[in-house]
Amino acid sequence: MKKDVIFALNYALNKGFQIHPNAFEILEKVEIRDLEKVIRDIVREKTKQKVFHINQEDLEVFLGLKDEEGLLSEHKILSDPTLKITSSEGIIGFGALFSNRFSKLKRMVSNRPEAKLLKPISSIIASKSDNDVFVCGLLVERNSERSITKLVIDDPSGSLESIVFDKDLQNIANSLLIDQFVMERVSIGKNGGFIVKDIIIPNIPDHIPNYSKTETYAVFLSDLHVGSKYFMEKELEKFVLWLASPDPIARKIRFVLVAGDVIDGIGIYPNQEKELVFTNVDEQLKKAVEILEKIPRHVKVFIMPGNHDPGRRALPQPAIPKKYNLDLWNRENFFMVGNPALISLNGIKVLMFHGQSIDDIVRTTPGLSFDNPTKVMRHLLQARHLSPIYGSQTPLAPEVEDMMLIDEVPDVFHVGHVHVVGLDLYKGVLLINSGAWQYQTPFQASVGITPTPGIAIIVNLKNFKVYRKDFKTES
Ligand code: D5M
Ligand code: FE
Ligand code: ZN
């Protein structure tokens, strides 16, 4: 046996590994460059698995001799706002948007028993019935003062002010998102005011997820912020190289999803220039392509815009327009989508959303914070809406159709924006916030945001087992 082969194998033997005779056969047959590194990789992986022998199959996998051709990698873009965007103007447009939101959500809850009893707000104000009545509307105001909570909801017929006294019901009332759809059971109090007896939100039913037939893996990323001084270029490069490596999991990855903030952009916040390496969007996107195009071609990459990317700022956002970078659009394994988008991966429905609305929601809803993004994501699913709040910092476009509604219950809900990794399961839906690839910026430090960057979230689509791979520490 050749000297370098013996040397490499000694490394494994010294670590207490046994080597199966069939492994030697391969080593005799194949000319292997960098065998030492291959053996070290195998030792590291198998030590993690607590398996201390090396056989022919291990070598085949790590040398890339064993193909994974049986793995399915079918995708379908089920919904994408890019080509649907019309943008009507001003007040008329917002009137249409909100009336569409109301009627779509009312239809969504129409199979609930309470829905049959719903009355228009104007009629219950006029009739002052002695019995409890059901109304629904969009929540325009929520106020808590001296142990009572006031809710104001609007439907197309009018506006209803109601009071919540019950403690448990107040907790529910306070967790409602402004401008979300809500049903109320109300009665008339002694002084003629409306008292809330029950609050019913759209929510999602318990969900049985779809799984992939084959053990295909997907990686969830967001907030690369290429162009920023704080962009973790080395770590992202390491991730991309790992994708092309013979690591047994890397070899089964067929999808990479990027949920927005691909670049840092320019003019996004005051004095941003001081924190940029590249001060124009074209250069930033060029750099992003340079890194992402090293992803092997058998991996499909889905790219969504965030609030730092070029195109339109208001939600829903179209895909990053072609005029900024043709390479992103031309590469055969890249798929440019708008924000939000619903994508099917081997039959698994992934709802992708950058997550801009989280800022306004955290600010206005008690009990929510930036460091627990999946809790906010639960609220979005409960409200069946990705960005309910109007008139705060998240710009909403006055579209005729409200494309921010969660029409279909997804199997995976993937969000970014807050730069904090979050994983959770809600009623069978896998919730992923994919963190970031940017170190904490001075701005984030000043507002108390502590990111958890440099971590790739990897999911086995056959069983939804989730892995966090940290590229800050792993070699
Ligand atoms: O957002 C990164 C994080 O910073 C996200 O959690 C929102 C937060 N952020 C962004 N802008 C603001 C303002 N103006 N106030 C408070 N918090 C903010 P990114 O989209 O990457 O900039
Ligand atoms: Fe971001
Ligand atoms: Zn963002």
Q: How far apart are CA 95 and CA 90, in angstroms?
A: 9
CA of 279 to the centre of ligand 2 (A): 17
Q: Give the model's pLDDT for residue 31.
A: 67
**Greatest extent of the chain over all pairs of C-alpha atoms, in Å:** 96
CATH number for the region 110-200 comes to: 2.40.50.140
Pocket of ligand 1 contains residue 102 by CB under 6 Å: no
pLDDT tens, position by position, 27-40: 777 666 678 888 88
Question: In angstroms, what CA-CA distances link 167 with 47, 190, 266, 363?
Answer: 53, 20, 47, 22
pLDDT tens, position by position, 419-466: 999 999 999 999 999 999 999 999 889 888 999 999 999 999 999 999
| Residues forming beta bridges with residue 467, ordered by sequence position | 458
Q: Give the model's pLDDT for residue 86.
A: 85
CATH number for the region 75-84+206-470 comes to: 3.60.21.50
pLDDT tens, position by position, 179-220: 999 999 999 988 889 999 999 999 999 999 999 999 999 999
CA of 312 to the centre of ligand 2 (A): 16
Angle between the N-to-C axes of helices 233-243 and 281-292, in degrees from 0 to 180, rounded to the nearest 10: 30
Question: Phi then psi for 61, rounded to 5 degrees?
Answer: -65, -50
Name which residue sits closest to atom 20 of ligand 1, judged by CA: 417
Name which residue sits closest to atom 8 of ligand 1, judged by CA: 418
27-35 contacts: CB < 8 A, separation 24 or more? 27/1, 27/59, 28/1, 30/63, 30/65, 32/5, 32/63, 35/4, 35/5, 35/8
Q: How far apart are CA 36 and CA 245, in angstroms?
A: 15
Summarize the confidence of residues 2-13 as an average pLDDT: 85
Question: In the chain, pLDDT over 70 holds for what percent of residues?
Answer: 97
Tell me: pLDDT of 63 over 80. no
pLDDT tens, position by position, 127-185: 888 899 999 999 999 999 988 999 999 999 999 999 999 999 999 999 999 999 999 99
**Mean confidence (pLDDT) of the chain:** 93
Closest atom of ligand 1 to 436 CA is 21
**What HEC string does the chain produce?**
CCHHHHHHHHHHHHCCCEECHHHHHHHHHCCCCCHHHHHHHHHHHHHHHCCCEECHHHHHHHHCCCCCCCCCCCEEEEECHHHCCCCCCHHHHHHHHHHHHHHHHHHHCCCCHHHHHECCHHHHHHHCCCCCEEEEEEEEEEEEECCEEEEEEEECCEEEEEEECCHHHHHHHHCCCCCCEEEEEEEECCCCCEEEEEEECCCCCCCCCCCCCCCCEEEEECCCCECECCECHHHHHHHHHHHCCCCCCHHHEEEEEEECCCECCCCCCCCHHHHECCCCHHHHHHHHHHHHCCCCCCCEEEEECCCCCCCCCCECECCCCHHHCHHHHHCCCEEECCECEEEEECCEEEEEECCCCHHHHHHHCCCCCCCCHHHHHHHHHHHCECCCCCCCCCCECCCCCCCCECCCCCCEEEECCCCCEEEEEECCEEEEEECCCECCCHHHHHCCCCCCCCEEEEEECCCCEEEEEECCCCC
Domain boundaries, the chain: 3-62, 75-84+206-470, 110-200
Q: Give the model's pLDDT for residue 475.
A: 42
Q: What is the pTM of this model?
A: 0.90
Name which residue sits closest to atom 14 of ligand 1, judged by CA: 269
- 306 and 258 Cβ atoms separated by less than 8 Å: no
Summarize the confidence of residues 251-274 as an average pLDDT: 95
Name which residue sits closest to atom 15 of ligand 1, judged by CA: 447
Pocket test for ligand 1, best of 269, 359, 421 (most atoms within 8 A of CB): 359
CA of 280 to the centre of ligand 3 (A): 18
Ligand located closest to 305 CA: 3
Q: Which residue has the tokens 């790219």?
A: 303
CA of 137 to the centre of ligand 3 (A): 30
Pocket of ligand 1 contains residue 272 by CB under 6 Å: no
Tell me: pLDDT of 361 over 80. yes
Summarize the confidence of residues 321-327 as an average pLDDT: 97
Q: Give the model's pLDDT for residue 418.
A: 97
Ligand located closest to 441 CA: 1
Pocket of ligand 1 contains residue 307 by CB under 6 Å: yes
Pocket of ligand 1 contains residue 447 by CB under 6 Å: yes
